[in-house]
Structure 1
Amino acid sequence: MEDRYNELKQLVDGGGTIVFFGGAGVSTESHIPDFRSATGLYQMENQQAYPPERILSHSFFMEHTAQFYDFYRSKMIYRDAKPNPAHLALARLEQEGRLSAVVTQNIDGLHQAAGSRRVLELHGSVQRNYCMDCKAFYSLEDVLEMSGEIPVCSKCGGTIKPDVVLYEEMLDMDVLEEAANAIAAADILIVGGTSLTVNPAAGLVRYYPGNKLVLINQSETPYDSRARLLIKDRIGAVLGSLFN
């Protein structure tokens, strides 16, 4: 494993623009559960009246808003979560001018908390919330401090919705296009903490034309055979080793 760590460091130190594409596994080391693992969010079905996939859908939000928010507050919000070594390493690579973008499937805002500036959030962020009627902005803290089962806009009384992409909703095409362009322009693409099975996000890897694809994930992905470097280890340990 140490040889693979050294090979990654050589690739990164060799120059060229880096783009990082990450999923839920990037945040599990910050104690935020993923979705599909044995301890993930989707294993909670027997504890809920509805499966998580149903609760996290647009139609459920519209029809059962109070129940959505009960699940959302208890299972999707982690106020005490802090950036881990993976987030911090990526922020440092950007600050040093070596990394041009972070493309993430996560909604927790930990990349920005670590100091990353160009973060392309494919699925939105819990840190942003908007009134569905007047579009007034509310921070996560604003929403959590509101009384009542359903957050209500102080300006017009409309329902506030998190700026996250729910099931049945489309990804922001501008963000998706910017992510595809960033990946297409990368010299090195590092993919970590994602099974690369959920489209359209997973399909972004196909835009990478280079031969320096690095995959960091503890389970197999459909792109393993294409990787120049495959590391099956914790992503915090791997990326953190770049600065040890």
Structure 2
Amino acid sequence: MEFERLKEIVAESRNIVFFGGAGTSTESGIPDFRSADGLYQAAGGGRIAPEEILSRDFFMARPADFYAFYRSKMLYPDARPNAAHHALARMEAQGRLATVITQNIDGLHQKAGSRNVLELHGSVHRNFCMDCREAYSLEDVLASKEECPRCARCGGMIKPDVVLYQESLDTDLLQRAANDIRQADVLIVAGTSLTVQPAAGLVRLYEGNKFILINKSATPMDGAADYAISDSVAKVLSALEK
């Protein structure tokens, strides 16, 4: 009966906000970070922790080593949106979902057709020269034969437009996300451990009573959710829109 109630809530809403993390994309073949099968566990045999490699200091000091890790572990150019991404895009097209707020950098929400997407941690599809700010695509980075891609115009170092450790999130983007969550009548949080700050703290700004939490493992916010579901994000979102 509870799941039928959730379907009614989704069907009746005109201002759903979705907040998602890495678990939204695992069924597209992109590993998450902190689960037993995640990126940090897979890279655990290395001498340098992934958190250090993905830091601003490491990128600036050892860009070639950064890119070796980034290209092999962070880029999935052949990944395609899964049922979760498509369900959210349909909800938006139907006028029920207002905003997708994502911690992911893979661009799969846009590939599925979502238009109002706030990418808190940036995107692998945007890259820029650190000297002249010339823009480059993911395809440009992948096609580069250099250990560290260089700008064709000025020779400067190209950096992915992703938020590294030691870097701050975009304050304007955070404010937009905060405002959307405060105004939401339904908040769906899915595929995130809710341990990364300040992004996870945004969830606490929701003031309504239709907080739906979907995650395979327990999170610090389970007790605060009005409805908590331990299952596949793609499976649940697909079922909720029917």
Do Structure 1 and Structure 2 share a fold, with TM-score over 0.5?
Answer: yes
Which amino acid is 1:34 matched to?
Answer: D
Q: Distance in 1 between matches of 2:78 and 2:16?
A: 30
Which amino acid is 1:92 matched to?
Answer: R
Q: Which residue of 2 aligns with 1:167?
A: 165
Which amino acid is 1:84 matched to?
Answer: N
Which amino acid is 2:97 matched to?
Answer: L
Q: Distance in 2 between matches of 1:73 and 1:179?
A: 29
- Give the alignment partner of residue 197 of structure 1, picking from 169, 173, 195: 195
Q: Which residue of 2 aligns with 1:106?
A: 104
8 Å CA contact 1:187, 1:210 repeated in 2: yes
8 Å CA contact 2:124, 2:162 repeated in 1: yes
Give the unaligned 5+ runs of structure 1.
Answer: none
Matches within 5 A, 1:22-101: 22-101=20-99
Which ranges of 4 or more aligned residues in structure 1 deviate by more than 6 Å? none
8 Å CA contact 2:14, 2:98 repeated in 1: no
Q: Which residue of 2 aligns with 1:150?
A: 148
Which amino acid is 1:11 matched to?
Answer: I
Q: Which residue of 1 aligns with 2:213?
A: 215
Q: Distance in 2 between matches of 1:4 and 1:226?
A: 17
Q: Distance in 2 between matches of 1:180 and 1:243?
A: 25
What is the count of residue pairs matched by the alignment?
242
Q: Distance in 1 between matches of 2:165 and 2:26?
A: 22
Q: Distance in 2 between matches of 1:44 and 1:240?
A: 30
Give the unaligned 5+ runs of structure 2.
Answer: none
Which amino acid is 1:43 matched to?
Answer: Q
8 Å CA contact 1:22, 1:193 repeated in 2: yes
Which amino acid is 2:177 matched to?
Answer: A
User: What's the offset of the Cα at 1:47?
Assistant: 3.1
Among all aligned residue pairs of Structure 1 and Structure 2, give the percentage whose two residues are the same amino acid.
Answer: 62
Which has the higher mean CA deviation after the structures are superposed, 223-232 or 68-77?
223-232
* SS of structure 1 residue aligned to 2:25: helix
* SS of structure 2 residue aligned to 1:79: coil
CA displacement, residues 122-149 of structure 1 (integer Å, 9 cap, x when unaligned): 1000000000000000010011111111
* SS of structure 2 residue aligned to 1:128: strand
User: What's the offset of the Cα at 1:5?
Assistant: 3.4
* SS of structure 2 residue aligned to 1:49: coil
